[in-house]
Amino acid sequence: MNTVHDVNDRRLDFYRDLRYAQTLHTSSKVFLTDGEKITLSVLQSSLNVRSILLTQELYEKHLPSIQSKMSEDECYVMSKRDMDILIGFDLHSPMMSIVEEPVSTPFSSMKGPIIALNGIVNSDNVGGIIRNAVGLGFESIITDSTTSSPYLRRSVRVSMGTVAFAACSTSKNLCKDLLMLKNERSIPIISAEITPISKNVSSYKFPHDFILVFGSEGHGISHDILAISDEIIHIPMFNLVNSLNVSSSSAIILHAAKVQKG
């Protein structure tokens, strides 16, 4: 264990000025966990934790979990005051870690059902969908190039660290890759969208295996993906409310699918 008193210690560069650190994290293929609950969750995953930064109190409290996951040489203990100075703001829960992004899962070997995200730019929504998906037993996630990365700090936080238990991959051409999966593995594509021909999710019978697509908050699912979809489903709405937030919608639809799958 390393006790650090110097906020300029270069070993802590990944934690420095977090409002401006995302570019460094992304280029280094790492992500940050922020807070006690999220960091403990990731410590239970199979991902490689490069380092952990926390107060002496939390170090002593969680020593068994830390020792079972990593070398104490990668553990840095700092006062709450110095941590706040280092990261650039008042940290509510003084326990953080730097984690290596996992290698992307090849689309062809992804376990179904698969959840695909199309143009979801809000990282809160991405994190919420991942939390809903993993919590309901759907671990395979495909994001397109216009969707916010699941490994952004905000997304990781909203996911409560469940992104560490998901198999995530990014598609440069989502329509092409979904069509490949559909043709090669005979997996039907189901899009969650309100259209004149969409079916009510309340009465929809989910197939055994499927790709479920959620779309952009503002524009919905792209027309090319709707065109290759086998089914389109929607959540019935009332009282002049047209739709729900995409993260909320994902919880309802994924729960319906899980109840049917058992």
CB 29 within 8 A of CB 101: yes
Cα→Cα distances 53→57, 62, 102, 153, Å: 12, 12, 21, 16
> Would you tell me which CATH number, out of the four given (3.40.50.1000, 3.30.1330.30, 3.40.1710.10, 1.10.1200.10), belongs to the domain 2-100?
3.30.1330.30
249's tokens: 């919608």
Could you report the per-residue pLDDT of 78-98, keeping only the tens digit for each?
999 999 999 998 888 999 999
Give all strands of the β-sheet with 30-34 in edge-to-edge order: 2-3, 75-77, 49-54, 95-100, 30-34
- Report pTM: 0.91
Query: Which residue's structure tokens are 């697509």?
Result: 213
Could you report the per-residue pLDDT of 137-193, keeping only the tens digit for each?
999 999 999 999 999 999 999 999 999 999 999 999 999 999 999 999 999 999 999
Could you report the per-residue pLDDT of 108-125, keeping only the tens digit for each?
889 989 999 999 999 999
Q: Describe the crossing of helices 123-135 and 246-261 by its angle, rounded to 10 degrees.
A: 10
Name the least confident of 33-37, 103-107, 158-162, 169-173: 103-107
Residues 107-261: name the CATH superfamily.
SPOUT methyltransferase, trefoil knot domain (3.40.1280.10)
The residue ranges of every structural domain in the chain are: 2-100, 107-261
